[in-house]
Amino acid sequence: MNEQVLSNLSMVTSVVVYLLAMFAHAAEWASARRLDPAAETVEGSVTETASQRVAERELVAAGAGGGSVVEAPAAETLDSHPDGTGGADAPAEAGAVRQRVESFGRIGFALTVIGFALSVLGVVLRGVAAGRAPWGNMYEFTTAAMVFIVAVYLVLAGRFRMRWLGLPVTLLAAIGNGLAVTVFYVAVAPLVPALHSVWFLIHIVAAAISGAAFNVGGVASILYLIKRRAENKGAVRGYLTRLPEARKIDVIAYRFNAFAFPLWTFTVAAGSIWAEYAWGRYWGWDPKETWALVTWVIYACYLHARATAGWRGRNAAIIGIIGMASFWFNFIGVNLLFAGLHSYAGV
């Protein structure tokens, strides 16, 4: 078997494993339905400190003073409970439910790690088979971008206890790699001359990293909207109890988008420099270029919205999600729908 075949094999397997991981996380969410919301909320106040109570009055402050996701309050919601927190009146059954939720979560996480390893292997072998950086067409770019996204998630889940991102991220990874192996697949081939450039490497790596961050940010925004709605209705139930407070999810979404935005700015600029080398013009309003700019402007909107009363929170989150959608449209829709110079899809 040659590298290409092995690469395809591990990529296809990764899709299956991601799907399984997704099912495990879905089971985690489903089984959390029977968690007793009352028991889950008790813990919130356990970790509350005096300064935080002050903070409640001045909400931001809690965002700042209540600590990051690394800190205890956020972590507490995710960890298995230390005995005694609200356990006194909680029936033993709750403990069993929690145990099950926890096991599903762990299984999901373990599967994600395996899927990740497989997709890394797939991308690396693809690079070996092609004898170049493995992101020269849509198939390769998608699989590489998924590696970045899942890598970010694994760090978040492992180091910062953000395993609650598991369901949407595994869903994303399964869809991404799934589309790649079914719709976008092309066999290994050398690059067309327009892609022979260092800027190709720089531009695409930057695009993949900022894309990964935008996606994590977008996923967080979706969870934020869900959690916020539940909070407003006073009906935080099931798995939602295990998510951090909406306000914190919002901050997480912000951080990812804020990290990605300068990098995306750089991506667009680098792409324009590369276009000058390859095609003799910096900017030609090619559909890909146009949508990269549209995406950029939407995220500028997002950052502005967070600084404008009445837009912060829900509306900002919606803009963030639109931004993510625009990123995906640029990446898939533009390649497939419009003819342009950027037609490397090879599909």
Partner 1 sequence: MSSDLQTDATRTVEETEPGRPDGTGGSDGAGGGDGNGRDPGPSKGAPALGLVGGLRFLWTQLTSMRTALVLLFALAVAAIPGSVIPQRKISPIAVDDFISQHRTLGPLYDKVGLFAVYSSPWFSAVYLLLFVSLIGCIVPRVLTYARAVRAKPVRTPRNLGRLPVAESWESADEASVVLDRAEAELRRRRYRVARRTDAGGESVSAERGYLREAGNLVFHLSLLFVLLGVAINGLTQFRGSSVVVVGQGFSNSLSQYDDFSAGGLFSERQLVPFSLQLTDFQVRFETGPVQTGAARLFKATLKVTDAPGEPARTETLEVNHPLNIDGTDVHLIGHGYAPVVTVKDAQGNVAFSGPVVFLPQDGNFTSSGVIKVPDARPERLAFQGLFLPTGAMTPAGPQSVFPDLLQPQLLLNAWEGKPQADTGVPESVYTLDTSGLTQVRDPKNPNQPFRFLLRPGYEQKLPNGLGTIQLTGVQRWVKLQVGDSPGVGVALVAIGTGVLGLCFSLFVRPRRVWIRVRPAASVGGPDPNHPEDGDATGAAADPAATREGRRTVVDVGALDRADARTGLAEDVAELATTLGRPATTQKDV
Residues that bind ligand HEM (CB under 6 A): 261, 300, 303-304, 307
**Is 266 near partner 1 (CB under 8 A)?**
yes
Binding region for partner 1 (CB under 8 A) out of 90-98, 175-183, 215-223, 296-304: 296-304
With CB cut-offs between 5 and 8 Å by kind, which of ligand HEM, partner 1, none does residue 160 bind?
none
When the beta carbons of 23 and 261 are compared against ligand HEM, the nearer one is 261
When the beta carbons of 188 and 260 are compared against ligand HEM, the nearer one is 260
Smallest distance, Å, CB 210 to ligand HEM?
13
Q: Pick from 15, 32, 62, 249: which binds partner 1 (CB under 8 A)?
A: 62
**Is 273 near partner 1 (CB under 8 A)?**
yes
Smallest distance, Å, CB 105 to partner 1?
25
Q: Pick from 254, 327, 328, 331: which binds partner 1 (CB under 8 A)?
A: 254
Q: Which residues of 6-33 are buried (b: 16+ CB within 10 A; e: fewer)?
A: bbbebbbbbbebbbbbbbbbbbbbebbe
User: Cα–Cα distance between 328 and 135 in angstroms, integer?
Assistant: 17
When the beta carbons of 234 and 280 are compared against partner 1, the nearer one is 280
With CB cut-offs between 5 and 8 Å by kind, which of ligand HEM, partner 1, none does residue 85 bind?
none
Sole residue written with tokens 């299956």: 16
Smallest distance, Å, CB 307 to partner 1?
4
Angle at alpha carbon of residue 208, lines to 206 and 221, rounded to 5°: 110
With CB cut-offs between 5 and 8 Å by kind, which of ligand HEM, partner 1, none does residue 286 bind?
partner 1
Give the footprint of partner 1 on residues 324-343 (CB under 8 A): 326, 334, 338
When the beta carbons of 96 and 189 are compared against partner 1, the nearer one is 189
Q: Is-contact 314 229, C-beta < 8 A?
A: no
Q: Is-contact 259 215, C-beta < 8 A?
A: no
Smallest distance, Å, CB 311 to partner 1?
7
Handedness of CA 117, 122, 127, 129 (dihedral sign): positive
> What is the crossing angle of helices 166-179 and 92-130, to 10°?
30
With CB cut-offs between 5 and 8 Å by kind, which of ligand HEM, partner 1, none does residue 117 bind?
none
Q: Pick from 60, 96, 110, 336: which binds partner 1 (CB under 8 A)?
A: 60
User: Cα–Cα distance between 345 and 184 in angstroms, integer?
Assistant: 7
The distance of Cα 44 from the centroid of its chain, to the nearest Å, equals 26
Smallest distance, Å, CB 346 to ligand HEM?
34
Return the half-sphere exposure (C-beta side, CA atoms, 13 A cut-off) of residue 138. 24
When the beta carbons of 199 and 266 are compared against ligand HEM, the nearer one is 266
Q: Pick from 49, 99, 182, 232: which binds partner 1 (CB under 8 A)?
A: 49
Smallest distance, Å, CB 262 to partner 1?
5
Binding region for partner 1 (CB under 8 A) out of 20-28, 118-126, 211-219, 272-280: 272-280
The candidate with the shortest Cα–Cα distance to 15, out of 178, 161, 219, 168, is 178
Give the footprint of partner 1 on residues 144-203 (CB under 8 A): 186-190, 192-194, 196-197
- DSSP assignment of 66-133 equals T--TTSHHHHHHHSPPPTTSSTTTS-HHHHHHHHHHHHHHHHHHHHHHHHHHHHHHHHHHHHHHHTS-
Share in percent of the chain as helix, strand, coil (round to 5): 80, 0, 20
User: Cα–Cα distance between 139 and 211 in angstroms, integer?
Assistant: 16
Q: Pick from 27, 35, 118, 298: which binds partner 1 (CB under 8 A)?
A: 298
Between the alpha carbon of residue 36 and those of residues 42, 90, 104, 117, the distances in Å are 10, 8, 18, 36
With CB cut-offs between 5 and 8 Å by kind, which of partner 1, ligand HEM, none does residue 301 bind?
partner 1
